[in-house]
Structure 1
Amino acid sequence: MEFNKSLIAIKISDSILDWLLVRFYGPPYYTKKKKAWGNLLALLAAHQGPWVCVGDFNCILNEDEQIGGCKGSSSTTNYLKELMFNLNSVDLGYSGNKFTWAKGKWGNAVIKRRLDRGVASISWRLAYPKITVSHLSAINSNHAPILLDTCLADSFAHRPFRFEAVWLRDEGCKPVIESTWNKEVHRLDFVKLYKKQVATRDALRKWNKEIRHPSPVNELAEQSLQAELFEWLIRSEILWRQKSRELWLKLGDKNFKFFHLSMIICRRNNNIDAIKKEDGTWIHDSNQIRKLFRNNFVDLFKEDIDFPEHVEHLILPCITEEENEMLERIPSPEEIKDTLFQM
């Protein structure tokens, strides 16, 4: 679509939607910087559809993205912040090393910054909730290459059960819990509690998957349709509000796009896309990451105790051999009967 010394813009069509991909380079000098950022802002503002922009912005968002060197003046224009604010865009995050640029050799560099990144419009971020931006290893360069991956393979991972607050607004939720919890379980008390919790969890999962759906209202009047629609809007708002964890918003805002985006960003922040091993190598496969965590916890809590020889002889016995034999002996039916009748 467009290209110059600072940016290359191409239009991409895939199975999900049509979107704009922009590769941008932010010049470090003020005279060229203002023009390059102005062209980028004009291009993205004029584009009507979803877009994503990746590249070397030569700019950081906050002081946490830099180690060493001058932090910069607060009066200096931060073009990256202005672009994200004016276009209502979001940072795509990263996996791997935090910094993408180093002054000198990476091993002993005094100054490091996160100058390379990816930003996208909200519509593009919602369309690709599972994308990753990986910071790769730098080879013969002070810049680390970044990789935008939109074709991640789905990998199954067990998700813990969470009670959804929206279920409380459904009349069928309470009977499911009561009927499951009141079933007789003939076990010890602590086992009984565990069995009831597991049964209730499984019942709620089944109810949520197979039963909890809006009832057919094709034959109802328009007033009934409006009432049911309003109820489901409230439930959807509560659901996305809980998942987004943005509790400062009040019910009634009905900003579903904001809730959905917050939930996606929260999930991506909680997701582990890569982990660095003790030898300095990176693991990106999800199965290997889970295996590494499991093995580390096993080694952490594994206790190897080497007792000195004959340590048992250092402890004096408290009872005699005859008393020990009497304690280990199985009582006879007559002894059990006499004991019970004496209680």
Structure 2
Amino acid sequence: MQTFRDVLDECGLMDMGFVGSRYTWFKKCASDVYVWERLDRGVATTDWLDKYLAAQVKVLECGSSDHKPLLIHPNGAPTKLNRPWRFEQVWLKDDGCHDTMAAAWSNGGGELPMGKVVKKVERCQGKLKKWSRCCFSNITWEIAEKKKQMVQVERTVINGGDGAALVQLKQELAGLLVKEEKLWQQCSKTHWMKEGDKNSKYFHHRASQRYRRNWILGLKNSRGVMCMGDDNVAVLLEDFYNELFKTSNSCNMEEVLQHIRVVVMEEMNRELVGEFSCAEVDLILN
């Protein structure tokens, strides 16, 4: 251990601290004996720490290894935005999904054939929303809850408690991570790979790659010049639609208009464009 400290001093590296669990590794030595250590840590030079003043090292929970992974946020822990509701592929693994959809689809809909389809789809969406919250729950939320429970149980085991509950939680967390992989697989739209190997990072990369590919960085104008930036792209779009809907080379409009039946008469038009009277306002408000 002293040699490790000497290497850190020689390289000018400092411990970045941590946020989360104090220990990053544990091992069961006997029936009720557990060894806990903080083997994994994040280190950085003073120059790097001066550049990233808000850097944090977060200790994550893991159900498939004795070591806990570390996640370094150079600019502090980011905040996540809530995403819209979507049908999740992993729901198909649960029998409740089929029963919920069958029950929702069996009810009637509108009078027209297409109206019936629309009503049935809307009813399925509403029923699946309720079912996913009550019965299937949210996988991301469940993983977060399992990790919180693992932290609490770890403290109990460190103080001499039974470690069977910790082993059970790790197994449950591993199962939830497999389900989470299915969710990322759906987001990545990678259908040629039927089964993964707990490789959520791969599917996350494919989803992020598709997001970058769908991002519009700039547009070319009529002269073929690339316009970059939000302001320039907004002006280009506005000019495009102005030209698209603008009348060009208009001539002999009277000959065309005389064949169109007049619906709004002159008297009606004067009433429509005229000023509002106090009596009309009172009539509408009362």
Instruction: Pick the TM interval, shorter chain.
Output: 0.3 to 0.5
**What TM-score results when the alignment is normalised by the length of structure 2?**
0.42
**What TM-score results when the alignment is normalised by the length of structure 1?**
0.36
- Structure number with the higher helix fraction is 2
- Structure number with the higher strand fraction is 1
